């Protein structure tokens, strides 16, 4: 706050003296960015691109593309140095477990659990070196029924212990898409619907996201709610934030494309609830731009949207 205030003061003095253009509206706001948003454009002269990201108003990064000590094709410690040189802090990272022979593991089993823990141990050690506060799994394993959900939750709890032991105190983070709002039903739940002429139109069983909230340990596992994918899963992110204040600790702020253009997202309510819950960290995320413009142009427009939004502090 003090540093920002000083910088803002200096900028105003310079403007007054030279009559140069007004300071950027986001001078007092700063945002986090999930680097997936920039796709491969980020790697076309990485040091310069990272500086552009900083100039847009972003100060914190959530990584994507980690594998074997690299982010994308760049050595992770070199990536960290370039980010720091640009004035960006690496706060978080998205990683999906892979085991020998299965680069992107979806089918969890009891037998594979030790291998999954080996993955988390090595991955958490690397991310502790990067200085990450959060280590987050962004993709759902296959969950066809309640038993699978229970096993996945047990594995998340165990992974949290491994991650904490490597020095990342927040534990295990989970990021959703829309498939977590699919339902799984027990035989008993299905039987109750038998003979009901409206069965095909009714919601039967439990949403997987609710099972995850129920069966993971609150002292170990937290949730990074992607507000767009929650809406795509026909649920209300604000309601979830109200109900699960202690579990949803990070957000992905996202729209179908550039913020505010789809009309699908009530960002004002989302930010209001985010501040009420005391959530400190959120990351802007942008899917592939639909209109042929660059990802950088879209990410810049998202920052401008937040900078100009009166509800964003």
State yes or no: residue 94 binds Mg ion (CB under 5 A): no
Residue 252 as a binder of Mg ion (CB under 5 A): the answer is yes
Contact residue for Mg ion among 62, 126, 180, 285 (CB under 5 A): 285
Considering only 47-55, 106-114, 269-277, 282-290, which stretch makes contact with Mg ion by CB under 5 A? 282-290
Could you give the string, one character per residue 160-199, with x where binding to Mg ion holds by CB under 5 A and - elsewhere? ----------------------------------------
Of the candidate spans 89-97, 230-238, 250-258, 265-273, the one that interacts with Mg ion by CB under 5 A turns out to be 250-258
What minimum distance in Å lies between the beta carbon of 35 and Mg ion?
12
C-alpha 14/C-alpha 313 separation (Å) is 25
Region from 22-30, 195-203, 251-259, 301-309 binding Mg ion, contact rule CB under 5 A = 251-259
Options 62, 126, 180, 226; binder of Mg ion; rule CB under 5 A: 226
The count of residues interacting with Mg ion (CB under 5 A) is 3
Kindly state the smallest distance separating residue 177's Cβ from Mg ion, in Å.
7
Residues in 98-157 that interact with Mg ion by CB under 5 A: none
Which token pair is 44? 């076309």
Q: Which residues bind Mg ion (CB under 5 A)?
A: 226, 252, 285
């Amino acid at each position: 706050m003090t540093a920002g205030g000083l910088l803002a003061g200096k900028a105003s003095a310079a403007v007054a003296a030279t009559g140069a253009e007004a300071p950027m509206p986001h001078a007092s706001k700063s945002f986090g960015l999930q680097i997936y948003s920039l796709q491969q454009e980020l790697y076309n002269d990485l040091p310069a691109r990272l500086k552009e990201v900083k100039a847009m108003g972003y100060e914190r990064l959530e990584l994507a593309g980690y594998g074997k000590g690299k982010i994308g094709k760049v050595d992770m410690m070199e990536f960290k140095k370039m980010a720091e040189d640009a004035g960006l802090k690496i706060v978080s990272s998205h990683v999906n477990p892979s085991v020998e022979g299965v680069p992107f593991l979806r089918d969890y089993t009891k037998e594979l659990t030790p291998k999954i823990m080996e993955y988390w141990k090595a991955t958490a050690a690397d991310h502790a070196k990067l200085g990450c506060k959060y280590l987050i799994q962004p993709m759902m394993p296959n969950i066809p029924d309640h038993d699978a959900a229970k096993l996945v939750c047990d594995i998340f709890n165990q992974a949290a212990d491994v991650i904490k032991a490597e020095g990342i105190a927040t534990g295990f983070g989970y990021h959703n898409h829309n498939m977590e709002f699919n339902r799984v039903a027990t035989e008993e739940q299905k039987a109750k619907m038998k003979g009901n002429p409206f069965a095909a139109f009714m919601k039967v069983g439990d949403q997987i996201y609710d099972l995850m909230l129920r069966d993971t340990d609150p002292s170990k596992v937290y949730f990074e709610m992607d507000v767009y994918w929650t809406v795509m899963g026909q649920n209300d992110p604000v309601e979830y934030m109200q109900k699960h204040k202690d579990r949803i600790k990070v957000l992905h702020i996202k729209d179908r494309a550039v913020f505010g253009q789809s009309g699908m997202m009530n960002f004002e309510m989302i930010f209001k609830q985010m501040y009420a819950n005391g959530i400190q960290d959120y990351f802007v995320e942008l899917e592939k731009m639909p209109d042929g413009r660059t990802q950088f142009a879209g990410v810049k427009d998202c920052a401008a949207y937040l900078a100009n939004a009166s509800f964003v502090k």
